[in-house]
Every structure is written in structure tokens, then in C-alpha cells.
Amino acid sequence: MNINDKYDETKCNHIINIGMLFRSVSTIIIFTILYMNLNKKFMNKYLYLILPFLFYILDISDIFLYTSICAKYFKYQSMDKIIDILSYFILFLIIKNDKLLYLFIIYRFIGVLLFLITKNSYCLVFFFDFIKEYLLYIFIFGYNYNFIYIFIILKIILEYLLHIIHNNVNYNYPKDYSKNVELNKFLNKYIFL
């Protein structure tokens, strides 16, 4: 199935389920191996470089969905974000006592919850996913936060380009999700302006 194919819900559900199962199992295996090797000198030195790389690899492990029209649909987007969040919660076992990291994870979690409720992609922009970038920032700059705002601004721009410009999809169509209309109006008026 490629991006030019007509959306077939049965085929897409099958493709998405296989992709998410593969990604979930891969995440569990990779983070189990990582956790078992946390005491190694190499791991301690390069953990903040290894983690964003692993998250990126895991995130694109379902890459065959990106060439499919299925990646544009809510089921894929929602499952992808849920698995991201579950992966980030695994960080609580690996990285302890980094309150800013915890804040970024909770912040993204709120955005994913709002996205799941409202199906509004602006939730993913406003509550941007900064976990991989934060880990890489810590590897490069340590806990010197003088330049972090630049990385945050760039990440928000990237999220906007990805979720609003590139993947410009109204997830509320063709089904009627009128129960979320009021929440969407509130978010659009007071949060997303």
C-alpha cells in the first residue's frame, strides 16, 4: 500500500497493528538490553547519546507505514504517540532525578491525551515532543540550559511543519466526533490562538 492508494480501513488496521506490534516488542527488547547494561562504563559515558538514537530508531521502525496512506489516519497517529509515551515512561527506570526530563515527559503526555480526546493536531505542536532533543542537549551541553530555548523553538517549528503543514489531516472526518467540539473550540480559542 502506498500513499496514492485509496484508504482501505481493513488493510490499514492490519498494517498498523503489525507495525505497532513490531515496534512495541522491539522497544521492550532494546530497553531490557539497555537496562541490563547500565553499569557498563561505556553506557554511563554515552547514555544521553544512545537514548535519543534508540528512540529515533524505534520511532522509525514502523517506517513502512510512512509510505502508506495509513500513516495519515488517526489510528496510526494515536498508537504511535501512545507507544512514544510508554517508551518515555521507561526512562523513569533508566534516568533518575532529572526533574526537567520528567516535566517534558508529563508535558508531552498531556498533549497526547488532549490529541486522543480532541483529534486536534495542534495539541501535538503546543505540547511538543522534546524528549529526544533534551537527551541530546544534555549530552552536548550538560546541564547548562543557556541554549535550550533555541532547541525548544526549533522543535516547535519542526512539530508545526510535521503535524500541521505536512500531515494536514482533519481526524474528525468522516466520523462525527461532536462530543469534542466544545473542547476543540476552547483549545483553539485560548491555547492555540
Domain extent listing, the chain: 9-191
The pLDDT value given to residue 68: 64
Evaluate whether 23 touches 62 at the Cβ level (below 8 Å). Answer: yes
Q: Find how far residue 49's CA is from the centre of its chain.
A: 18
Evaluate whether 76 touches 113 at the Cβ level (below 8 Å). Answer: no
Over the stretch 70-115, which tens digit does the pLDDT of each residue have? 777 788 889 999 999 999 999 988 998 899 999 999 999 999 999 9
The pLDDT value given to residue 14: 84
Number of Cβ within 10 Å of residue 101's Cβ equals: 19
- Of 128, 42, 36, the C-alpha closest to 81 is 128
Over the stretch 155-167, which tens digit does the pLDDT of each residue have? 999 999 888 887 7
Side-chain half-sphere CA neighbours of 146 within 13 A: 4
Query: Grid coordinates in use for 83?
Result: 507507544
The pLDDT value given to residue 13: 83
- CB-count burial class (<10 Å; 0-12, 13-18, 19+) for 121: buried
Q: What is the three-state SS of 91-103?
A: HHHHCCCCHHHHH
- Tell me the C-alpha distance between 167 and 88, whole Å: 23
pLDDT averaged over the chain?
Answer: 83
Query: Grid coordinates in use for 193?
Result: 490562538
Higher-confidence residue: 65 or 108? 108
The pLDDT value given to residue 63: 64
The pLDDT value given to residue 48: 94
The pLDDT value given to residue 52: 94
Backbone phi and psi for residue 8, each to the nearest 5 degrees, phi listed first: -125, 110
Higher-confidence residue: 138 or 43? 138
The pLDDT value given to residue 96: 86
Measure Cα distances from 153 to 3, 80, 99, 158, 172 in Å: 30, 23, 20, 9, 28
Is the pLDDT score of 182 beyond 60? Answer: no
Query: What's the average model confidence in pLDDT over 54-68?
Result: 74
Helical packing angle, 74-94 and 99-118, nearest 10°: 160
Band of the pLDDT at 152, cuts 50, 70, 90? very high
The pLDDT value given to residue 180: 53
